[in-house]
Amino acid sequence: MNTSNESTGHDLSATLNVMAELKTKTHSAHKELEKLHCFKRLFSDDYQIDEYSRLLGSFYGFFCAIEPLLFSNLPDDQQPLLRHRIKTPCLKLDLAVFGKNPHDLPICQNIPNLETFGKKMGVLYVLEGSTLGGRIIGKHLSNHFGAQVGSALNFYGCYGQNVDVEWRSFMHFMDSHFSGQPAVDEVVQAACATFTGLQQWLEHCHR
């Protein structure tokens, strides 16, 4: 029996579930990002509020650089599902709590390639995935800082109680648009580039 998938004209990897491919092939880059000192510090007993505000500023420098390109020129029928996933406004609200002016913050210049819809969705996979861990981080920071953190948890709590709903919706969207398609490769490559780019940016901001 021929199992080489020659009859379809596609590489075997292109027939796999896109979300499974993304999880597997970005695993190494994801783990490297999580090793950063600024993330490990989040759960330290002596974590300081100024460390948190600095981290928010770093995130803003990355998100405000990438989101205008990421969410521009999207297909009209995809606008309702995708545009509410913009995170920059949440970061602005959090920064305002600490009296930080976004215009005074450094902006990332080295962002992933976003020239195709597939590449944009590879980037969005990384940004959306962060909301899953963000729920845990937000709860921890609220317990750790109490009233001191005030209302500066908009970014880490962007979907409120709907984190799982939003993630399932995004998974369904990705599977219905890319699974079994040759574009899976560029989605994966863009996601890996996003993990690496964010890691480099945070290392630059927190060295």
Confidence of residue 1 (pLDDT cuts 50, 70, 90): very low
List alpha helices for 146-183, DSSP H.
163-178
At 150 the three-state DSSP class reads coil
Does 8 score more than 70 pLDDT?
no
Instruction: Please report the domains of the chain, with CATH numbers, ordered by start residue.
Output: 41-205 (1.20.910.10)
What pLDDT, on a 0 to 100 scale, did the predictor assign at position 78? 87
DSSP state of 85: G
Q: At residue 12, does pLDDT exceed 60?
A: no
pLDDT at residue 16 in the model: 61
Mean pLDDT of the chain: 90
Token representation of residue 52: 């948190």
Give strand ranges (E) for the chain: none
pLDDT tens for 146-195 read 999 989 999 999 999 999 999 999 999 999 999 878 889 999 999 999 99
Which residue from 90, 65, 77 is spatially nearest to 153, judged by alpha carbons?
90
pLDDT at 11 over 50: no
Question: How far is residue 153's CA from residue 139's CA, in Å, rounded to a whole number?
Answer: 9
- What confidence score (pLDDT) does residue 87 get? 97
Structure-token match 């990897």, residue found: 13
